[in-house]
A and B are shown apart, each in its own frame.
Chain A
Amino acid sequence: MRKKPVIDIRGLSKYYGDVVGIEGLDLKVYPGEIMGFLGPNGAGKTTTIRACLDLLQKSKGEVKIFGLDSHEDSLEIRRRTGYLPGDFGMYNDLKVKTILRYLLSQSGLSDESKMLELAERLDLDMDRRYGELSKGNRQKVGMVQAFMADQDLIILDEPTTGLDPLMQQKFYDLLREERENGKTIFMSSHILAEVEEVCDRVAIIRKGRLQVVEDISSLKEKMGKKLVVEFDDGVDPEIFKIDGVKDVKIEGRWVTMIVTRNLDQVIKNISKQNIINMSLETFSLDQLFLTYYSSGGSGT
Chain B
Amino acid sequence: MWGRTLLMEFRKSWRGFAIFILVVVIISAGMAQLFPVISEAFEEEMEELEGMEYVHLEVEDEIIHLSWVEVEDAVEYVVIEDRHPYMMMSREVNRTDMNRTTIPHPEDEVRYFAVKYLTNDSAEMPLGMASTVEPTDPMEELMDTAFYRMFTAGRADVTFEEMEGFMSVELYSWWILLVGVYLSYLSVKSITEDYEERRMDVIFSTPIPRKQYILEKFSALALFTLILVSLSGSMLMLSVRAVGEPGGWEFLVSLLISWPMLMVIIAFSMLFAVVTQSSRKAVGGSFAVILIQYALFMAGHMVESLEPVLPFTISYYWDYNSVLLDGVVYPLHLLLLVAVAGVSVFLTVFLFQDSDIPA
Contacts and interface: CB of A to CB of B under 8 A. Distances in A.
B207 A105 contact: no
Interface residues of B, number: 24
Nearest to A102: B8
B207 A107 contact: yes
A269 interface: no
Contacts of B207: 75-76, 78-79, 106-108
Contacts of A83: 201-202, 205
B205 A91 contact: no
Interface residues of A, number: 34
B8 A55 contact: no
Nearest to B8: A102
A53 B8 contact: no
Interface stretch (B161-169, B300-308, B351-359): B351-359
A145 interface: yes
Nearest to A86: B359
A78 B198 contact: no
Central interface residue in B12, B202, B208, B356, by most chain A CB within 10 Å:
B202
Nearest to A85: B201
Contacts of B11: 94, 98
Contacts, number: 79
Contacts of A56: 356-357
A54 B201 CA distance: 10
B331 to A, nearest CB: 38
Given A57-B354, A78-B206, A85 B1 contact: no
A158 to B, nearest CB: 12
A87 interface: yes
A93 interface: yes
Contacts of B60: none
B198 A87 contact: yes
A145 B202 contact: yes
A41 to B, nearest CB: 12
B174 interface: no
Given A91-B12, A106-B4, A81 B205 contact: yes
A90 B359 contact: no
Contacts of A54: 204
Interface string B303-332: 000000000000000000000000000000
Contacts of B208: 106
A108 B1 contact: yes
A288 to B, nearest CB: 27
A123 to B, nearest CB: 21
B14 to A, nearest CB: 10
Given A105-B4, A107-B207, A93 B12 contact: yes
Contacts of B281: none
B262 to A, nearest CB: 25
A94 B197 CA distance: 13
Contacts of A46: 359
22 contacts: A53-B205, A54-B204, A55-B357, A56-B356, A75-B209, A82-B205, A83-B201, A83-B205, A87-B201, A87-B359, A88-B201, A88-B202, A89-B198, A89-B202, A90-B202, A91-B199, A92-B197, A105-B1, A106-B5, A107-B206, A108-B1, A108-B207
Given A103-B202, A142-B202, 15 more contacts: A47-B359, A53-B204, A57-B355, A78-B204, A82-B205, A83-B205, A85-B359, A93-B12, A94-B11, A98-B11, A103-B206, A106-B4, A106-B203, A107-B206, A145-B202
Interface of B: 1, 4-5, 8, 11-12, 197-209, 354-357, 359
